[in-house]
A and B are shown apart, each in its own frame.
Chain A
Amino acid sequence: MSDTLVESSAESAFLDLHKKLLEQGRPALVELQEAALNRFELLGFPHSKHEMYTFVNIKGLVATSFSLPDGGVNVSEDFVAGHIYPDCERQCLVFVDGVFNRGLSRFEGVSANLVSLSEADQELKDYLSKTAENENDVFAALSTAFCSEGLVFKVDDNTQISGTVQVLFVSTGRSVGPAMHAPRLVWQLGKLAEVKVIEKFVGTEGGYFINSVQDWLLAEGAGVSFTQVQVDSFDSWHFSKTRVHLNRNARFYSSNASSGTQLARHHYEVWLKEEGSELRLNGVSVLDGKEQVHNFIRIHHEAPQCISHQHFKNVVNGHARSSFDGTVIVNEGAQLTNSDQLINNLMLSNDCHANNKPNLMIFADDVKCTHGVTIGQIDEDQWFYLQTRGLSAKSSKELLTRSFAQSIIQTIEFPEVVEELNGTLLKKLEATNV
């Protein structure tokens, strides 16, 4: 608590809100909630110089008085259908205001893979309570304290889920007091299991706080392709924590495309626990107006011969803000680690901001690690070159900006997502540039 400078009233507002939650009946995950709530009280909201929130101003968020989601909101099937990718119609899990909605979901093919978190086996429950007790991020603790029920997606040993699984998080805005939505997902992959997942975050209107937590537990040789598309309403808050545990030879390939909100923050924490595991973490954001996206990343290399690769690109315009705070920790014994981290920012206005804190902590002696940051404007020589071929100043700039963002977008393996991002994320540039 000593770390806390924000008036403790902010915390007590959430504690009061939690009491209201309990008045509605005993939650399915009451013990987990309590552990998380204790952790939340202990951590408290971060003061402005807290090392995990150096670049993120949460004052407005914690000063907001939130209500509980009412659960009775109507989201139409048409709205949902408009956000399901073509190949995912048969396996799509829909969360509305943080709660899994069976009616809107389609999961014939994968119903055997789904378990409610409250019915998870003891081993998983032990993992979750230990994680809640040791949570280091106060917003993740808050999310767990409020998660009503969670979902476990389990893939057995030697099983490959065919096609792509989509998860759609729909948030609805509210006329009376914004609500916090706390979806909770655990992905559990057995030996040599594989799954491809696209997650999309959308809002029907603004004024909500989506605060999600996910755990990915990959057994030996398991493989995941994970794409996230964040297109929430601008006047929402979007926080996410993604925890990844990789055992021997497991692979986790992740791409995140964010269009930002008034405050969006993605926290990734990854453990490469056994030899031969591999992480690829890519991100692209295109921000304008007062949009923000902040990435906070901790990668723990705990075993030899593991690979981690990160590449983030931000296009920042208007008064937008982006930040990247990433540390790769190579523990003693993690020999022959191969790790790189690259952040490129393209600044299109004088009033935008990009803060970067890449960091390496190396406790092994035989490793290959690199990191780098670039912050730049449009390259004048390139810009001029295109104009001498008859392209206007405006369209030359758009072309250069697109090509900057596209090198990440093109790493996404789902053509329908790439196409959508070309249409939406990059469209934003056309409207506002020059």
Chain B
Amino acid sequence: MLEIKDLHASVEGNEILKGISLSIKKGEIHAVMGPNGSGKSTLAKILSGHPSYEPTGGEILLEGKNLFDMDAEERSLSGIFMGFQYPVEVPGVNNAEFLRMAFNARRVCAGEEEMDPLDFDELLSEKMKMLKMENKYKERSLNDGFSGGEKKKNEILQMAILEPKLAILDETDSGLDIDALRIVAEGVNSLRNENNALILITHYQRLLDYIKPDFVHVMHNGLIVKSGDKALAHELEAQGYDWVTAEN
């Protein structure tokens, strides 16, 4: 589904990613871990098409198509979804209306009709119920004044509405208490099927107890320095990153 080959990327002239290669197939879950500042969010932003992050080498193919030929909108419409580490507050833009616009943009792109507002409201209510979100979040402005945990839930709500092929969740677990984490993890799991894939960026093994990864990668200084299965996450939890990063 996704092929990242020797990816180099810069922000404001500084090289942050220094040659990342990663192959993700349908149905897989990849966890990306690594110390602060190692480039995890940079990778996520490059995947989602952030204009400030410039790919300087290598390539990324999404189902064979060159990702660098697509802008953020096209990537989203092609099925990429990034759950932001720091979701952006957008005062004045109604949450429910925004979700409907995003949902319909995808439908129209797929050559389908826009969904009737009442039907959409039902769909939205159902997804919100799954995430145990109160109805009042429909009427609020997008992320405006939301707590950290509420913002993360709202990201997963968007994911649930958009049903992406490839979701990159950047520290969605940070800022969630254990109950909220369980709810969010159940939500994410319920969206899984053999045709989609997931990249989970996280610092904590805890999340991986609920969403079980097929692969775990450790990033350090702009490179993937170790890959393994979920046992690697346990080792990291027990021993910290030093033993991995020191090897490199």
Show the binding face of A for B, using Cβ within 8 Å: 380-382, 384-393, 395, 399-400, 402-404, 406-407
Contact = CB atoms under 8 A, between A and B. Distances in A.
Contact of A391 (B73, B81, B88, B141): B73
A147 B247 CA distance: 89
B71 A391 contact: no
Interface string B115-158: 00000000000000000000000000100000000000000001
Contacts of B49: 387-388
A64 B246 CA distance: 80
Given A384-B51, A389-B158, A390-B76, A400 B71 contact: no
Contacts of B72: 384, 387-388
B164 to A, nearest CB: 10
A389 B101 CA distance: 9
Given A381-B88, A385-B90, A392 B51 contact: no
A389 B87 contact: no
10 contacts: A380-B52, A384-B51, A384-B72, A388-B48, A388-B72, A388-B76, A389-B102, A395-B105, A400-B90, A404-B92
B88 A390 contact: no
Nearest to A385: B88
The 9 closest A-B pairs by CB, nearest first: A403-B92, A390-B76, A387-B72, A385-B88, A389-B102, A390-B105, A403-B93, A387-B73, A381-B88
A385 B87 CA distance: 8
B158 to A, nearest CB: 6
Interface residues of B, number: 30
B181 to A, nearest CB: 23
Nearest to B48: A388
Interface string B68-112: 000111011100011010011111110000100110011001000
A389 B51 contact: no
A157 to B, nearest CB: 41
Given A381-B88, A382-B88, A399-B101, A387 B76 contact: yes
B84 A390 contact: no
A391 B87 contact: no
A393 B71 contact: yes
A391 B102 contact: yes
A425 to B, nearest CB: 15
B50 interface: yes
B90 A390 contact: no
A390 B93 contact: no
A212 to B, nearest CB: 32
B29 interface: no
A399 B88 CA distance: 15
A399 B76 contact: no
Contacts of A395: 101, 105
B158 A399 contact: no
A404 B92 CA distance: 7
